[in-house]
């Protein structure tokens, strides 16, 4: 039995990963699905990356979690990297699932294609609360291109405004991921086009982990909605000893 902690991506909450969590639990493991500060109902959207990371550090410390396998999806990769840098003694392995892998001093925007940065900044400029919201057509084509329309619409209804500053803030680390003394895995969904294939998740970001285990499966960015059983199996495979 392993202790998995699933850290969601931008616009999501821990609730959006409950379907995957239930499947991992059915395989005999314990699973936690916290929601990062800034994505909880009623949270201020002025939250920055350091606050977001600290909210998961506090969650794990309050829960007394030990020997954790942290799984970060997308933006969650920034969070699990920061958490590992602060409380590595509580962590057994880091799993990056089509996730950002930052070195010290890097932001999500630093590791995203320039045209996508411009597009997200333009969306953020339309709001006055510090958040950014994905339009459905963008979500439908880039995030959940392996799902039917009904699945895409139901998934979209579960999203919430995301704090834009977490994309801009540069992470501060005492050690880069490749130098962290912990096991690392990267799950790459091969039809994920949120990071365009000319500017890919793998190997562009995964190689920053140093020594790591690679798991590749078919699926798009929102595979947790379209093929939850597939990503659940991949997470367990990525987390095995």
The partner residues of 94 in beta bridges, in order of sequence, read 70, 184
pLDDT score, position 195: 95
Q: Dihedral through CA 119, CA 147, CA 19, CA 57, nearest 10? A: -20
pLDDT score, position 143: 98
Domain-wise residue ranges, the chain: 3-239
Per-residue pLDDT of the chain (241 residues; tens, 9 = 90+): 899 999 999 999 999 999 999 999 999 999 999 999 999 989 999 999 999 999 999 999 999 999 999 999 999 999 999 999 999 999 999 999 999 999 999 999 999 999 999 999 999 999 999 999 999 999 999 999 999 999 999 999 999 999 999 999 999 999 999 999 999 999 999 999 999 999 999 999 999 999 999 999 999 999 999 999 999 999 999 999 9
Among residues 3, 157, 162, the alpha carbon closest in space to that of 75 is found at 162
The two tokens of residue 59 are 């969650």
Task: Map tokens 């509580």 to a residue.
Answer: 90
The two tokens of residue 143 are 């995030």
- Would you call the peptide bond into 130 cis, given omega within 30 degrees of 0 as the criterion? no
pTM of the model: 0.98
CATH 3.40.50.1820 fits 3-239, yes or no: yes
Cα–Cα distance, 12 to 20 (Å, whole number): 14
pLDDT score, position 117: 97
pLDDT score, position 222: 98
Task: Map tokens 């850290």 to a residue.
Answer: 7
């Amino acid at each position: 039995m392993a202790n998995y902690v699933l850290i969601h991506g931008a616009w999501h909450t821990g609730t959006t990963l409950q379907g995957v969590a239930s499947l991992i639990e059915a395989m005999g493991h314990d699973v936690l699905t916290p929601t990062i500060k800034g994505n909880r109902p009623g949270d201020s959207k002025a939250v920055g990356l350091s606050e977001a990371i600290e909210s998961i550090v506090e969650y794990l410390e309050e829960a007394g979690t030990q020997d954790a396998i942290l799984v970060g999806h997308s933006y969650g990769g920034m969070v699990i990297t920061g958490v590992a840098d602060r409380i590595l003694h509580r962590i057994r392995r880091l799993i990056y699932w089509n996730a950002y892998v930052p070195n010290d001093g890097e932001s999500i925007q630093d590791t995203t294609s320039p045209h996508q940065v411009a597009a997200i900044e333009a969306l953020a400029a339309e709001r006055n609360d510090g958040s950014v919201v994905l339009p459905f057509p963008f979500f439908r084509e880039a995030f959940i291109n392996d799902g039917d329309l009904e699945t895409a619409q139901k998934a979209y209804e579960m999203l919430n405004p995301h704090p834009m500053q977490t994309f801009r803030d540069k992470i501060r680390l005492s050690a880069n991921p490749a130098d962290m003394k912990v096991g690392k895995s990267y799950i790459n969904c091969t039809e994920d086009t949120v990071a365009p294939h000319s500017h890919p998740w793998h190997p562009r970001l995964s190689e920053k982990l140093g020594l790591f285990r690679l798991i590749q499966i078919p699926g798009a960015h929102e595979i947790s909605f379209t093929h939850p059983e597939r990503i659940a199996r991949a997470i367990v495979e990525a987390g095995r000893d």
